[in-house]
């Protein structure tokens, strides 16, 4: 596997449909929205490329686009783990309930401070991190950044952070 | 100037005093708090190292530690520019008023979406970016990350983003 150079995506993204990217075989979508490339389609392509594991560690997860992507990855048999914030999890729009009903493992902090990270690890090799909460306002409204990075040391540090939080938030 | 490898800081940081780092000559602080190294002292050292310019683009700026650092950089004659979010700027604790009274240029978005970036550029060469809002809760309470990166392409993209927002938010 060749290491890619670091890359940055800036948001807001134009409102486009990314549903065709989630299909296991190429399909045509007749929804009427634009299907052109955008920061959102880049992010979606990256997440859906997971083959072995997808570890998501995000303060907010309410975006239908990104939660559909996570569900599609899980549906392909990839191991998906989600860490999120307890305070925001309870709010309307959070997709945590949908994840759990689909059988995805979700853990969360237990205190009033925020689990404020916004990163994901694809196959433990590619890090996606930045300011972007996984919400419609984040994707389509705010000024946001996401960095895609495969630097070994940085990825290793985030893999360790994920593992540590995963254990810390074990409800058992 | 040698390019440093990328580095990551995780928060929360222990409560320590970083005041000695802001003095132009080495001094001893008798405040009673610990003065040991931490993620906050690393971040402070980096910001205070600015020699030509410090461009700050953060959703929230209420941390007394980080705002004192920005004021100290300005006080040394370095050009400091700050971009922030209009909604949070109005809240108690924002240091934007202090910055403006000190003569630091501050600009902000004009709409209800968030200027949600949390990055700074030191001398246009080093990027500090991540999930961390510049607030006490962010630094001392939350799970947060900050990446320090000198990758030329990534830094260039953030320099351009800063310049574009700086022009877009010109009140003139
Ligand atoms: Zn469509
Ligand atoms: Zn002290």
Helices (H) and strands (E) in chain A, counts: 6, 7
Query: Does any domain span residue B39?
Result: yes
Cross-chain CB nearest to B8 (options A12, A142, A154) = A154
A143 tagged catalytic? no
Q: What is the pLDDT, as a whole number, of residue B87?
A: 83
Confidence class for position A24, pLDDT limits 50, 70, 90: confident
Q: What is the percent of chain A with per-residue pLDDT over 70, rounded to a whole number?
A: 99
Q: For residue B10, give how far its alpha carbon lies from the nearest alpha carbon of chain A (Å).
A: 8
Evaluate whether residue B1 is within a structural domain: no
Looking at the structure of chain A, the number of domains it has is 1
The closest CB to that of A153, out of B5, B133, B145, belongs to B5
Which structural domain range is residue A140 located in? 7-168
* Residue A172 confidence (pLDDT) above 90: no
| pLDDT of residue A105 exceeding 90 | yes
What does pLDDT average to over chain A?
A: 94
Counting Cα atoms < 13 Å in the Cβ hemisphere of A45 gives: 10
Rounded to an integer, the average pLDDT of A17-32 is 86
Q: Using the predicted structure, report yes or no on whether residue A162 has a pLDDT greater than 60.
A: yes
Tell me how far the alpha carbon of residue A171 lies from the centroid of ligand 2, in angstroms: 39
pLDDT at B51 (0 to 100): 97
Q: Which residue, among A15, A138, A145, would best test binding to B if mutated, counting the most B CBs under 10 Å from its CB?
A: A145
What is the rounded distance in angstroms from the CA atom of residue B87 to the CA atom of residue A6?
32
The answer to whether residue B54 is domain-embedded is: yes
Give the tens place of pLDDT for each residue, B82-120: 999 988 777 778 899 999 999 999 999 988 999 999 999
**Reported ipTM:** 0.94
Residue A98 lies in a domain: yes
Q: Report yes or no on A2 lying in a domain.
A: no
In DSSP notation, B96-132 reads: HHHHHHTT-EEEE--SSS-B--EEEEETTTEEEEES-
Residue A114 lies in a domain: yes
A4 contacts B154 by C-beta, under 8 angstroms:
no
- Is A118 labeled as catalytic in the residue annotation? yes
Among the listed residues A8, A7, A9, A33, the one whose alpha carbon sits nearest the alpha carbon of residue A19: A33
pLDDT band at A74 (very low <50, low <70, confident <90, very high): very high
Residue A146 lies in a domain: yes
A57 forms beta bridges with: A83, A119
CATH number of residue A138's parent domain: 3.30.870.10
Query: What residues of B are in contact with residue A110 (Cβ under 8 Å)?
Result: none
Q: Indicate whether B2 belongs to any domain.
A: no
CA distance A159 to A27: 34
């Amino acid at each position: 596997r060749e290491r890619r150079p670091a890359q940055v995506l800036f948001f807001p993204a134009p409102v486009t449909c990314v549903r065709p990217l989630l299909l296991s075989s190429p399909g045509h979508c007749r929804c009427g929205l634009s299907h052109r490339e955008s920061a959102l389609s880049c992010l979606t392509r990256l997440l859906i490329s997971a083959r072995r594991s997808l570890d998501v560690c995000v303060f907010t997860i309410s975006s239908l686009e990104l939660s559909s992507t996570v569900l599609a990855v899980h549906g392909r048999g990839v191991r998906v783990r989600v860490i999120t914030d307890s305070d925001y999890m309870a709010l309307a729009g959070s997709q945590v309930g949908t994840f759990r009903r689909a059988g995805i493992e979700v853990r969360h902090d237990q205190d009033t401070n925020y689990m404020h990270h916004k990163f994901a690890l694809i196959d433990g090799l590619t890090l996606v991190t930045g300011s972007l909460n996984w919400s419609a306002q984040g994707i389509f409204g705010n000024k946001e950044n996401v960095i895609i990075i495969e630097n070994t040391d940085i990825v290793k540090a985030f893999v360790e952070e994920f593992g540590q939080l995963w254990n810390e938030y074990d409800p058992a």
